[in-house]
A and B are shown apart, each in its own frame.
Chain A
Amino acid sequence: MASAPRPATFGGIPQILDVLKEQGYIADRALATSVHLSIVLNKPLLIEGEAGVGKTEVAKVMARALGTDLIRLQCYEGLDVHTALYEWNYQRQMLRIKLEEASLRPVEDKEHVIFSEPFLLKRPLLQAITAERAPVLLIDEVDRADEEFEAFLLEVLSDFQVSIPEIGTITARQIPYVVLTSNRTRELSDALRRRCLYLWIDYPSFDKELRIVHSKVPAINDRLAEQICAFMQLVRTVPLSKVPGIAETIDWSAALLALHRDHLDAQAVEETLGCLCKDQEDLVRVRTQYLAPILDTVRTAGLATDGWNPERIASLAAQLPKTR
């Protein structure tokens, strides 16, 4: 197996942090360290976390830090080798056959020609393997693919070579940097987990989320931003079927700003609750059971000065009403 020397220009953890910042991605050192190790050890990085915490972004940042291409394979149920690896370019093959209709070449020769590399449509996995420079290969939402595909993927990630019956075995010129993301809708196999380094991305802390809001919605005032983030921290502790992520926070902030709100009140939240809850039952539950108590908590707790640390949020959350 060839090993890919990392580019001389790669500057380690500080550079990753810089790139993250440039991209508007507020990250902690832990994330940068994991990305760094994945690059240095050249092992795939498996990223798990709830929906909407920015898992996919990490691959983009990694590509940027390495100054290389990002190749993305979006997984879904029923994803097969033809979509992930390669497919023959049938239109082109057909044209070629028509052009050669008159030629007296034996059928075997013609077959050999149309099943050669120029007629191959490279799908993401093959693109990643045959790239001149090691790209970042993002295998997104791998939990959505079938177990069979996962097994195939494991094979590719172990050997970085694939065999195409008509052509033969193709071995990677450079080992790509691989990032896999999973929303944990299905448990991945232990074998795949062992192939990978592991990074868990949690919902952001209050401080981190506040920085994210300020960076993505710069026009927002401090008080509203703080109230939004406090509200988010609390609403994530109540039982919902779809817990709102960072994207929801940003959408909500932008919506409140567009409505010229400068603080949170019951009316403002009611009007914009759709940004937060994307599920009818959640929406009803938040509106009827949690909206008032959370707002109360945010309002009274907001006056205190000791910040929104995790212990404080947990104790405030414990005072919210329980579900029936």
Chain B
Amino acid sequence: MRPGNLGANVTLFGRRLRDRGLLVGAAEIGDALRALTAVNIADREEVRVALRTVFASSAADLPVFDEEFRRFFAEAAATETPPLPNADDDGAQGPEGAPGETERAELSVTEWSGEEQSPDEERSVPAYSPAEVKARKDFSAFSADDLAAISQLIMLIARRIATRLSRRMRSARRGTLVDLRRTMRRSLQFGGDAVELLWRRRRVRKAKLVLLCDVSGSMDIYSRFLVQFVYALQDALGRVESFLFSTSLTRVTDALDRRDIQSALAEASRRVPDWSGGTKIGASLKTFNERYGARLLDPRTIVVICSDGWDTGDLEILVDAMRALRARAGKVIWLNPLLGSPGYEPVTQGMSAALPYVDVFASAHSVRSLRELERHLRGPRPSSRARAAAWARDAGGDRP
């Protein structure tokens, strides 16, 4: 790195990182420059660590940072000159250097910008298929014309559930603490005797919500609505983590964290590699437990699984995953769209295997059933004794 071009280089590097989603703005670039004055700039490792300390802000940023750092300095080394002396033009025009160097720098920037468009970005949300319409008064029964109206309604319901939930959470449990400060103030009027005790409420602990939605082929008719529902709940409630799965699990919390629902859904569908594919519920839940369980599950977490229970994978994996999930989460709700059809019994092997570990088994086939969901989202299981009993039962079983 040439000291003369330090500012431009750091700015360009910061921009690249920002393009890749790191939280980098003018303030961070300023900090980075200050940081470089505080370390030995001739020591590549120290420069790397210093820039990383400033530019990265989560563990997920680290591999991205390292990759970009390597790329940036490989370019610098290859050209014996900083990649781009002028950061303002972002590579549109090459620097006034030797022609060879210019080409090299431009090439790398082109390579870079080419990478932003991944080939599967064109994929859109699977369309609702009118051919699948069945004569049931559920999601599958609406005509394509109704779709927009239904979507709107679903958003409305999700918002209402969310606001109702947060209001209930605020006013739950009466305060049991004496507000000493206000009591003391009041007591001054009575010469210091606390004639009247004033109370304050203990902060109410909010439930967290984890949504796991099946988007495999067998759920096609419903998943479009359910994902919208997930989007709307997350948008309105906060404290929601959302995942989609079919043969594998994809976290979509940040994909859905966009103001515009269309782009949110498009981004979510882009990330799911196997939308409308087969179903491996057990494997997906297992992945969830291993990768996110420790961070997301605690006795105040409500886990909502939306799936029809058609599992093509190993049932034992499903049972193990459900057991682990239930042991850690406060409440497990399974929404099954098939439950709405008359005469449905949870006979799919997957469903009957999972059922013992489900606290609430409810339907999600119609707008009305989604509305009723609110009842179940109120809070974790009331009795810890029931849980202990279930645990003892499991532990006493013939486990390996």
Complex alpha-carbon distance, A32 and B6, angstroms: 23
Within 8 A of B (CB), among A1-45: 13, 29-30, 33-34, 36-38, 40-41, 43, 45
B230-241 vs A, CB cutoff 8 Å, 1 = contact: the mask equals: 000000001100
| Chain A residues, CB < 8 A from B238 | 147
Contact A97 B57 (CB under 8 A): no
Kindly provide the distance from the CB of A180 to the nearest chain B CB, expressed in whole angstroms.
Answer: 12
Residue of B nearest to A183 (CB): B295
Tell whether A69 is near chain B: CB-to-CB under 8 Å: no
Q: Which residues of B contact A284 (CB under 8 A)?
A: 399-400
Secondary structure dominating the interface of B: helix
Contact A324 B316 (CB under 8 A): yes
Task: Specify which chain B residues have a CB less than 8 angstroms from the CB of A239 in the assembled complex.
Answer: 290
With both beta carbons as reference points, the residue of chain B lying nearest to A240 in the complex is identified as B290
Instruction: Give CA–CA (A101, B187) in the complex, Å.
Output: 12
Partner of A37, one of B54, B205, B400: B54
The interface residues of chain B lying within 8 Å CB-to-CB of A199 are 53
A184, B61: Cα distance in complex, Å: 14
**When the two chains form their complex, are residues A198 and B56 in contact, meaning their CB atoms are under 8 A apart?**
yes
Residue B38 contacts which of A41, A46, A185, A242 (CB distance < 8 angstroms)? Answer: A41
Give complex CA distance A46, B39 in Å: 19
Q: Are A97 and B192 in contact (CB under 8 A)?
A: yes
**B202 beta carbon closer than 8 Å to chain A:** yes
A110 at the interface (CB under 8 A from B): yes
The complex places the Cα of A170 from the Cα of B11 at a distance, in Å, of 37
Among A41, A100, A101, A242, the residue within 8 A (CB) of B35 is: A41
The distance in angstroms between the C-alpha atoms of A45 and B31, with both chains bound, is: 13
Nearest Cβ distance between residue A169 and chain B, in whole angstroms?
18
Query: Is A56 located at the chain interface by the 8 A CB criterion?
Result: no
Distance in angstroms from A55 CB to nearest chain B CB is 13
Which residue among A36, A77, A197 has the maximum number of chain B CB atoms within 10 Å of its CB? A197
Q: Which of A126-134, A186-194, A206-214, A228-236 faces chain B? A: A186-194
Q: Which B residues are in CB contact (< 8 Å) with A13?
A: 39
User: What are the residues of chain A within 8 A of B35 when measuring CB–CB?
Assistant: 37, 40-41
Looking at the complex, which of A88-96, A261-269, A313-321 is the stretch in contact with chain B?
Answer: A88-96
Q: State A80–B201 Cα separation when bound (angstroms).
A: 12
- Determine which of A33, A41, A80, A146 lies in contact with B49 in the assembled complex, contact meaning CB atoms within 8 Å: A33
Q: Which residues of B contact A80 (CB under 8 A)?
A: 203
Give chain A residues whose Cβ lies under 8 Å from the Cβ of B239. Answer: 147
Binds A, one of B113-121, B178-186, B338-346: B178-186
The interface residues of chain A lying within 8 Å CB-to-CB of B23 are 190, 193-194
Tell me whether A194 and B295 are in contact (CB under 8 A): no
Interface string of A210-247 (1 = CB under 8 A from B): 00000000000000000000000000000101100000
* Residue on B nearest A197 in the bound complex, by CB: B53
CA distance A98 to B295 in the complex (A): 51
Q: Does B294 lie at the interface of the complex (its beta carbon under 8 Å from any beta carbon of A)?
A: yes
Q: Which of B158-203 contact A (CB under 8 A)?
A: 180-181, 184-185, 187-189, 191-192, 202-203
- Are B39 and A198 in contact, CB atoms less than 8 angstroms apart? no
Given contacts A34-B53, A88-B180, A97-B192, 17 further A-B contacts (CB under 8 A): A33-B39, A33-B49, A37-B54, A40-B38, A78-B202, A78-B205, A94-B184, A114-B188, A146-B203, A185-B296, A185-B298, A187-B58, A194-B57, A197-B54, A198-B54, A200-B59, A241-B294
8 smallest beta-carbon distances between A and B, as pairs: A97-B192, A193-B57, A40-B38, A33-B49, A34-B53, A30-B49, A90-B180, A198-B56
